[in-house]
């Protein structure tokens, strides 16, 4: 998230970045500050995974029941325009995606 926040090409896409996790707000803030996340209005605490379920990302849930490392592009009407879970085993279990890859795919999906 920090790398995307700081990427000038991502910023030029005119999309809003929102990070969603099942952790409570206090845990987010503490961990986020340690990771350098500076914009906490772009973080959603999804305790119970209701938002993750709505967008269908729980199909890639970890053994702990937590959602994976999923990217979702939602259009202005609230429809999913692109969805990819890079951490899923069928995707190779990638835990980090270069910003230029996200920029390329999101740009193509707009």
- Class of the CATH domain delimited by 2-109: alpha beta
Alpha helices in the chain (DSSP H): 2-6, 8-11, 25-35, 50-54, 99-109
Provide the residue-wise pLDDT of the chain in tens; the chain has 110 residues. 788 888 999 999 988 888 888 988 888 788 878 877 766 677 788 999 999 999 988 888 888 888 888 899 988 888 888 999 888 888 888 888 999 999 999 999 98
What are the residue ranges spanned by the domains of the chain? Answer: 2-109
Q: What is the pTM of this model?
A: 0.75
Phi and psi at 39, nearest 5°, equal -115, 90
């Amino acid at each position: 998230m920090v790398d995307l926040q700081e990427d000038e090409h991502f910023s030029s896409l005119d999309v809003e970045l929102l990070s969603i996790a099942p952790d409570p707000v206090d845990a987010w803030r503490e961990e986020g500050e340690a990771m350098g996340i500076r914009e906490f209005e772009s973080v959603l605490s999804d305790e119970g995974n209701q938002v993750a379920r709505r967008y269908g990302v729980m199909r890639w849930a970890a053994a702990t029941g937590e959602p994976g490392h999923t990217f979702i592009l939602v259009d202005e009407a609230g429809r999913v325009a692109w969805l990819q879970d890079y951490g899923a085993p069928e995707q190779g279990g990638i835990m980090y995606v270069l910003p230029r890859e996200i920029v390329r795919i999101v740009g193509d999906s707009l």
